[in-house]
């Protein structure tokens, strides 16, 4: 079974209410009837509901950028999975490198967030990737393997059917330094192999793997062509609808 490509737009902490609505409408205009590639946008929490309303009835889905480890209660400032789902969003980013490095989310916290998302039926995009110093020290595979093992070990494959894994080398995020297609493919193949070790070959062959880190319309085609790259998680370039749509269109339909 071929894997359906999937492209996500991570808006991070950008846009205000009006801008989020406009951007959603522009994405809908360009990608709302897109076939052959799933598209998800990840607006900031306060705009989940207005953005899902703007995208209602079209093919673009909506996700949150993070989720609380706990289901409810005295956790000021946190947002529970059920709240996200009740806004009409269906996806959630788990363990984005900015959550790990800026907010201190450990592997253990990331694993709890993944479980919290699965418990309410949100579809998770699990983000992994090495820092520049880890790559330079030759630790890329060890870091990625540790992140995957800690999040996925012990989970049943039937709860993970919607799982997407985003490989995002931290040194490529927001830096303009995109991994070469060969560098990205090498780690993607490693990710798929590690998933096979953890969850079985059939699951690994079906799971969709995104690359993230300075993806733009003009560097997407070479990455799309790699056999283990099934799409992208796009940050900066997702804030402009035409550039975002061009990344989706850069895929040569096969």
For residue 17 the two structure tokens come to 């209410």
We find the least distance from the C-beta atom of residue 234 to ligand PGA, in angstroms, to be: 5
Output 11 or 47, the one with its CB closest to ligand PGA: 11
Of 84-92, 132-140, 193-201, 230-238: span binding ligand PGA (CB under 6 A) = 230-238
Output 116 or 220, the one with its CB closest to ligand PGA: 220
- Beta bridge mates, 81: none
Residue given tokens 């796009």 in the structure block: 234
For residue 175 the two structure tokens come to 């830096």
Query: Is 234 one of the binding residues for ligand PGA (CB under 6 A)?
Result: yes
Output 10 or 140, the one with its CB closest to ligand PGA: 10
Output 110 or 198, the one with its CB closest to ligand PGA: 110
For residue 108 the two structure tokens come to 């253990």
Q: How far apart are CA 168 and CA 12, in angstroms?
A: 15
Q: Is 98 noted as a catalytic residue in this protein?
A: no
- Residue of 61, 96, 98, 188 marked catalytic: 96
Binding test (CB under 6 A) with ligand PGA, winner from 165, 236, 245, 250: 236
Query: Is 173 one of the binding residues for ligand PGA (CB under 6 A)?
Result: yes
Residues 197-226 touching ligand PGA, rule: CB under 6 A, are 212-215
Query: Is 105 one of the binding residues for ligand PGA (CB under 6 A)?
Result: no
CA distances to 218, 238, 253 from 180, in Å: 13, 20, 21
Q: How far apart are CA 94 and CA 117, in angstroms?
A: 9
Q: How far apart are CA 178 and CA 174, in angstroms?
A: 9
We find the least distance from the C-beta atom of residue 101 to ligand PGA, in angstroms, to be: 11
We find the least distance from the C-beta atom of residue 197 to ligand PGA, in angstroms, to be: 26
Binding test (CB under 6 A) with ligand PGA, winner from 61, 168, 228, 230: 168
- Beta bridge mates, 232: 7, 211
Query: Is 233 one of the binding residues for ligand PGA (CB under 6 A)?
Result: yes
The b/e string for 81-114 (b: 16+ C-beta within 10 A; e otherwise) is: bbbbbebebbbbbbbbbbbbeeeebebebbbbbb
For residue 77 the two structure tokens come to 């400032």
Q: Is 168 noted as a catalytic residue in this protein?
A: yes
For residue 20 the two structure tokens come to 């989020």
Binding test (CB under 6 A) with ligand PGA, winner from 7, 10, 91, 191: 10
Active site residues: 96, 168
User: Contact residues for ligand PGA (CB under 6 A)?
Assistant: 10, 168, 173-174, 212-215, 233-237
């Amino acid at each position: 079974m071929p894997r359906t490509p999937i492209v996500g737009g991570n808006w991070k902490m950008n846009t205000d209410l009006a801008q989020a609505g406009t951007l959603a409408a522009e994405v809908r205009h360009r990608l709302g009837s897109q076939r052959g590639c799933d598209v998800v946008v990840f607006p900031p929490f306060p705009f989940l509901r207005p953005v899902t309303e703007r995208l209602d009835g079209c093919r673009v889905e909506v996700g949150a950028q993070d989720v609380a480890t706990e289901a409810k209660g005295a956790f000021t400032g946190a947002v529970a999975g059920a709240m996200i789902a009740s806004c009409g969003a269906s996806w959630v980013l788990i363990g984005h490198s900015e959550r790990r490095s800026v907010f201190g989310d450990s592997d253990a916290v990331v694993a709890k967030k993944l479980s919290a998302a699965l418990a309410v039926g949100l579809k998770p995009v699990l983000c992994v990737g090495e820092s520049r110093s880890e790559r330079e020290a030759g630790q890329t595979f060890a870091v990625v393997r540790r992140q995957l093992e800690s999040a996925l070990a012990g989970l049943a494959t039937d709860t993970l059917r919607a799982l997407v894994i985003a490989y995002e080398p931290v040194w490529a995020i927001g830096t303009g330094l995109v991994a070469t297609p060969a560098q990205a493919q090498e780690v993607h193949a490693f990710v798929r192999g590690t998933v096979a070790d953890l969850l079985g070959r059939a699951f690994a062959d079906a799971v969709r793997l995104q690359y993230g880190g300075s993806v733009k319309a003009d560097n997407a085609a070479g990455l799309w062509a790699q056999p283990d790259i099934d799409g992208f998680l796009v940050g900066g370039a997702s804030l402009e609808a035409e550039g975002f749509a061009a990344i989706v269109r850069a895929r040569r339909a096969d």
